[in-house]
Amino acid sequence: MKQRIITGVIGGAFFVTMVVIGGLVFTLFITILASVAMAELLKMKKIPPFSLMGFVSFVLMWLLLLPSQWLHFSIFSSFTKVELFLFLILILLALTVVTKNSFTFDEAGFVILSSVYVGYGFHYLIMSRIVPDYGMEFLFLILFLIWATDSGAYFFGRKFGKRKLWPDISPKKTIEGSLGGVALAFVVGLAFHMFIPVFSATTLLLVILITSIFGQLGDLVESALKRHYVVKDSGNVLPGHGGVLDRFDSLIFVMPILHLLQLI
């Protein structure tokens, strides 16, 4: 627990600093995080990150991750990100033939889905920060809501938890803990609004509810992945916390949803 707290405080402070700095520094920092997260997923599937398949996987993810305007300064400026992504999918499918099926169709599907999961999740994290006028404030709000949800679910679950939320995926999570996480998210979100009003009151309540519920769902998605591939943590880069995916699973699940619902 001591190691977990130390890592959490140092890691949290460093991430907050990156958010405040913003700009190119933040984009490069998120790119590093996303690359580590992609490597963690590839290792779950036993695909070597430093291989031809691994390289194509990273390119797929980076293509979705980086802002579209970055393409304007490359030789691919005449293509859209979707067109390039589809072209790389065809390359992946061709690799199943070239490698005589040592790289399988199943692995190709895993790589494609993983690149979308990681790439778009972290992409919308970058895009949120560069929103004019209130991007930093919005990102801090979402971070605080997710941290509040995690803390509320943990402490309420320990104190009042009796009914299992989804025992086949995450045996320790309880319905009482989940509701406690949502409740604490509302408390933190409303307190944040008193000092830094990012949204109208009605929109704020919707953002809090969606962030807390889908943040917990994102955590369950990653738990299901780890259970399926029989791993305890996605990685070990964060002592006491596991890997990058273990810490950012809720955030990268929530951000695309908030954008798709046009709440930012």
Angle in degrees, CA 125, 256, 168, rounded to 5: 110
Would you tell me how many other CB atoms lie within 10 Å of the CB of residue 24?
A: 8
Mean pLDDT in residue range 141-147: 95
Chain segment 26-78, per-residue pLDDT in tens = 999 999 999 999 999 999 999 889 888 888 899 999 999 988 777 666 666 67
How far are the Cα atoms of 33, 42, 57, 236 from residue 38, in angstroms, in the given order?
9, 6, 8, 14
Query: Is the confidence at residue 238, as pLDDT, over 80?
Result: no
Higher pLDDT, 215 or 77: 215
Nearest-angstrom CA–CA distance, 110 and 61? 12
CA atoms 8, 13, 19, 23: torsion sign: negative
Higher pLDDT, 185 or 107: 185
Residue 151: both structure tokens together: 């803390």
Residues 6+ apart with CB under 8 A from 262: none
pTM: 0.90
Q: Lowest-confidence range among 60-64, 216-220, 238-242, 253-257?
A: 238-242
Nearest-angstrom CA–CA distance, 130 and 132? 6
